[in-house]
Chain A
Amino acid sequence: MVPLNWYIVLSTAVFTIGVIGFLMRRNVIIILMSIELMLNGVNINLIAFSHYLQDPRGQILTFFIITVAAAEAAIGLAIIIALFRNKATAHVDDIHEMQG
């Protein structure tokens, strides 16, 4: 059996890559993908714990996270399309209508 520690290391790595991607990348689509990576890091963690503890709660929460992430991606892409129609860009540095 794969030890629990390996899963935790994997999930931390995936989550951290997501955080770094969110902070460093400048394309909105890639930022959304980084958020998905962070959520998947959480999912790995939850399922590993759920298996290790022999308790279904973690897997239930994972289902909810996947569903909510899909809704979030749908709304995120809709907002990006609305923005793209008004200002043909997907680059966060170009999105600065408000400052102060």
Chain B
Amino acid sequence: MNFQLPDIGPVIPELVMTGLALILLTAELFIKNKKVLAFASSVGVGGVAFTLIGASGTTFGGMFISDGYSTFFKLIFFINAILSILISVKYIAIEKVNFGEYYSLILFSTLGMMIMASAADLIVLYLGLELMALSTYILAGFIRYDVRSNEAALKYLLLGAFSSAFLLYGISMVYGLTGTTDLKAIAQFITTHGLTANHSLLLSMLLIAIAFGFKIAAVPFHMWAPDVYEGAPTSITAFMSVGPKAAGFAALGRVFMIAFGSMQFEWTAILIPLSILSMAVGNIVAIAQTNIKRMLAYSSIAHAGYVLLGVIVANNEGLAGMMTYLMIYAFMNIGAFAVVIMLRTEGFKGEDIKDYEGLAKTHPLLAAIMLIFMFSLAGIPPTAGFIGKLYVFMNAIDAGYTWLVIVAVIFSVISAYFYLRIVMYMYMREPKVEVSISTSPSMNLALIVTTVAVLAIGVFPSIVVDLAKAAISGF
């Protein structure tokens, strides 16, 4: 029997990431100061980002592809991982769960996302998704003594496993119909055998869409999101409101654009209601929330609705808009959660929206930073959030979805109410409770990076937009 080693060039970032995570897991036994691990993991992820430069091509018999599209998404995952680690250092010490495996779990989850973004085969896609999800379940329940964190992990696990069973049933039906799991081969089989109107194939596509709907938290598959986001440690809420969502979109874009490319009409018909419902439910229910983590959970559901517009457009410009939006969303959402984490001190939760009353009087700089993130999430210029929305909406109008953009803009206006309510509380109310903030050098660094990124992308959007357009060109 002749065994040939596959070309490992395209998978080098994944291999380095695996090595890094394993080394950290072992080093955790010997290193008492967990800050060293945080430093090593964030610097390590930065190092892995450099290995992306040389990695391109297809390997493992076409199962794994490294192209501009996957590289751009991996960049989002690295930004997400580094910023999440930076905001975690002090926070997990305050929550008294300062264990070293926290950082390796973040790295393993990021590894799963990287595999998802690079999957050119449904088997690889499933494995990446599970690696990402299993690590995130543990992280959501990381505060073992807190029943809310346990509950969040349990709900996330049950609904995550439920959704991956749907994904697998869809995959098994696609496999039965086409005899392959390779995305390109599926697309070829569908066109040559004229299966576009096949009911079983439509059903399997629907099942796969449901599974991705769970992962990106689109309505009506969002029920888990508010509870999980509220109960999980705040740093992990920041991590999983960006990473798994972006990974879900990466896989959604690749599977639907490549494997089901000839059935565009059918899957846009599935995604348009998802998008409208997400924007409606996310933005309207967020108004009624009193817990800021829960409010940001509904806001993240609404943002999934906006990003779905980029997929619905179903061309390279639409995907570039989606990628731009997700990159911007990573900065502004983690920034907002970083402010929430700063209010958490020993014996004070700081999760109630009322805790933000009069913050501008007691901590003017922090209030100003929160103002920037809230403006950005609401999509007010000159912040990055405006640019993200602008590009996604422009592409949708070019593709003839003017009515859908009008709906999106209306819901976007509604969203301004609850984002600006925080600003109003901070600037126009008198402080009622004594709020002290917990600062640390890594936290300050994360806040500086996110604030500068949100403002810089808002003023010079071409930084990200051109990168996304260049990344998508070979898709």
Contact = CB atoms under 8 A, between A and B. Distances in A.
Q: Is the interface of A mostly helix, strand, loop or mixed?
A: helix
A26 interface: no
Nearest to A95: B151
B162 A71 contact: no
B169 A45 contact: yes
A22 B169 CA distance: 16
B25 to A, nearest CB: 16
Nearest to B167: A42
Nearest to B182: A57
A79 B153 contact: yes
A57 B141 CA distance: 35
A38 B291 contact: no
A68 interface: yes
Contacts of A53: 176, 179
Nearest to B288: A100
A49 B141 contact: no
Interface in A49-100: 49, 52-53, 55, 57-58, 60-61, 64-65, 68, 71-72, 75-76, 79-80, 82-83, 86-87, 95-98, 100
Interface in B123-159: 123, 126-127, 130, 134, 137-138, 141, 144-148, 150-154, 157-158
A22 B162 CA distance: 8
Given A28-B154, A75-B134, A80-B154, A97 B168 contact: no
A56 to B, nearest CB: 11
A86 B153 contact: no
A86 B148 CA distance: 10
A97 to B, nearest CB: 5
A57 B127 CA distance: 14
A49 B171 CA distance: 12
A87 B157 contact: no
Given A61-B126, A65-B168, A100-B290, A86 B145 contact: yes
Interface stretch (B226-234, B313-321, B445-453): B226-234
Given A42-B172, A83-B150, A68 B157 contact: no
B134 A35 contact: no
B157 A76 contact: yes
Could you say which of A22, A41, A53, A65 has the most chain B C-beta atoms within 10 Å of its C-beta?
Answer: A65
Contacts of A97: 147-148, 151, 231
Given A45-B172, A72-B134, A97-B148, A79 B154 contact: yes
B123 A60 contact: yes
Interface string B149-191: 0111110011001100100110111011001110000000000
B151 A98 contact: yes
A79 B141 CA distance: 7
Contacts of A80: 154
Contacts of B181: 57, 61
B172 A100 contact: no
B442 interface: no
Contacts of B146: 86
Contacts of B389: none
Given A31-B158, A79-B137, A82-B141, A98 B148 contact: yes
A57 B154 contact: no
Nearest to B129: A68
A15 B180 contact: no
B126 A100 contact: no
A64 B123 contact: yes
B167 to A, nearest CB: 9
B215 interface: no
Interface string A10-23: 01000100100010
Interface string B276-289: 00000000000011
A38 B165 contact: yes
B294 interface: yes
Contact of A75 (B127, B138, B150): B138
B127 A68 contact: yes
Contacts of B226: 98, 100
Interface string B98-112: 000000000000000
B154 A83 contact: yes
Given A58-B172, A82-B144, A98 B123 contact: no
Contacts of A22: 158, 162
A31 B161 CA distance: 11
Contacts of B145: 86
Nearest to B155: A95
Nearest to B179: A53
20 contacts: A18-B165, A22-B158, A35-B158, A38-B169, A42-B168, A46-B172, A55-B179, A55-B180, A61-B126, A65-B126, A71-B134, A75-B138, A79-B141, A82-B141, A83-B151, A95-B151, A97-B147, A98-B227, A98-B230, A100-B294
The 6 closest A-B pairs by CB, nearest first: A38-B165, A83-B150, A49-B176, A45-B172, A86-B147, A42-B168
